[in-house]
Amino acid sequence: MASNRGQGGIQQLLAAEQEAQRIVNAAKNEKLARLKQAKEEAEKEIAQYRAQLEREFQKKVSDSSGDSGANVKRLEQETDAKIAQLKKESARISDDVVTMLLKYVTTVKN
């Protein structure tokens, strides 16, 4: 009877060990499934974020290239205004500069 009892106890231990192993394996499988799902969700979010950034970049590129004609026109106007101002100033002081240069060139120092 004692050996039967010992055999029954061993069988119970083996069954409990197998049950525990089954539970551990199920938990591992669930964990792997959750990790896989989280990875897929993260990749999906990354793809959406990347697409959003690409759209914003393309919008900025198209906006800036659309304005480049206006920027060029504005810069041309500013340049023309500066050139006109410089011509006006040079015309205003050119007589004084010529007089000053002639004075220095014709003055003899001993």
Burial class for 80, CB neighbours closer than 10 Å (0-12, 13-18, 19+) = exposed
pLDDT (tens digit per residue) in 52-110: 999 999 988 877 776 667 778 888 999 999 999 999 999 999 988 999 999 888 888 76
Residue with tokens 């964990």: 31
Task: Please give the helix or strand (H or E) that residue 66 lies within, else none.
Answer: helix 2-106
pLDDT (tens digit per residue) in 9-37: 899 999 999 999 999 999 999 999 999 99
